[in-house]
């Protein structure tokens, strides 16, 4: 949805993005430019700008009023699975099947601001709703071309290229989607195993040691 909630944008395997009028339930315009399936799209939290990612390995920024491309980012070497704007309006996060997470600053798009390298394909990224420098990522422990592919969730901060914490075997298969509770204390994950898990940090005073020496994350399955 746009910041005004009057319009929203959709992405599709037909290589197109479409902008819709929410009140009239009518298509307004198409955004063409990607050369393969468009896997992800996100509307800027304040500006008239849309980011999209595709299986053509590219991220495009669009002007929704003119349907023209504002910028094309080619830093990924494989399909872009998700893009998401930070609430501060400056940072754009992207995750892809090239096992990289990239952060861009909208004020300087010529190169990525930070690259986070992981050992698995990244299918989902989610900025924390309260702490703007923190985000989570989800993907598959092994290549999705192999028969077994356990999901793993990793937690990052923007000042470190290595994960601060992770949950091994978070799901029995690839994690396709992550989303935080608006207060930031619960993280929901969904996977190819047809399950949804809710994750929360320990209560104050609890100490549950893990291999990272931190607090273990607890999950409930639905």
Predicted confidence (pLDDT) per residue in 184-208, tens digit: 999 999 988 888 889 987 666 665 4
**The predicted structure's pLDDT at residue 205:** 66
pLDDT band at 218 (very low <50, low <70, confident <90, very high): very low
Lowest mean pLDDT: which of 35-39, 163-167, 191-195, 215-219? Answer: 215-219
**The predicted structure's pLDDT at residue 133:** 96
Could you identify the residue written with the tokens 């746009």? 2
**The predicted structure's pLDDT at residue 131:** 94
**The predicted structure's pLDDT at residue 222:** 39
The residue among 120 and 213 whose pLDDT is bigger is 120
Question: What are the tens digits of pLDDT across the range 58-108?
Answer: 999 999 999 999 999 999 999 999 999 999 999 999 999 999 999 999 999
**The predicted structure's pLDDT at residue 209:** 42
The residue among 218 and 169 whose pLDDT is bigger is 169
Dihedral angle sign, alpha carbons of residues 220, 199, 174, 146: negative
pTM of the model: 0.85
**The predicted structure's pLDDT at residue 195:** 86
Query: At a CB cut-off of 8 Å and minimum separation 6, what does 216 contact?
Result: 202, 208, 209, 210
**The predicted structure's pLDDT at residue 142:** 56
Mean pLDDT throughout 35-45? 95
The residue among 205, 204, 199, 203 whose CA lies nearest residue 217 is: 199
**The predicted structure's pLDDT at residue 119:** 84
**The predicted structure's pLDDT at residue 149:** 61
Question: What are the tens digits of pLDDT across the range 133-183?
Answer: 999 999 876 554 555 567 889 999 999 999 998 888 777 778 899 999 999
């Amino acid at each position: 949805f746009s910041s005004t909630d009057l319009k929203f944008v959709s992405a599709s395997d037909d290589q197109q993005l479409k902008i819709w009028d929410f009140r009239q339930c009518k298509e307004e315009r198409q955004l063409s430019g990607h050369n393969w399936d468009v896997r992800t799209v996100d509307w800027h939290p304040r500006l008239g700008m849309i980011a999209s990612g595709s299986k053509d390995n590219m991220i495009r920024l669009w002007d929704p009023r003119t349907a023209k491309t504002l910028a094309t980012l080619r830093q990924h070497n494989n399909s872009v699975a998700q893009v998401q704007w930070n609430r501060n309006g400056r940072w754009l996060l992207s995750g892809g099947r090239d096992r990289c997470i990239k952060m861009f600053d909208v004020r300087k798009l010529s190169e990525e601001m930070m690259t986070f390298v992981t050992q698995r394909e990244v299918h989902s990224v989610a900025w924390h709703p309260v702490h703007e420098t923190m985000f989570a990522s989800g993907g598959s422990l092994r290549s999705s071309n192999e028969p077994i592919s356990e999901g793993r969730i990793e937690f990052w901060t923007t000042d470190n290229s290595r994960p601060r914490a992770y949950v091994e075997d978070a799901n029995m298969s690839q994690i396709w989607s992550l989303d935080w509770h608006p207060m930031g204390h619960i993280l929901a994950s969904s996977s190819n195993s047809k399950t949804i898990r809710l994750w929360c940090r320990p209560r104050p005073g609890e100490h549950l040691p893990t291999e990272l020496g931190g607090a273990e994350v607890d999950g409930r399955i639905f």
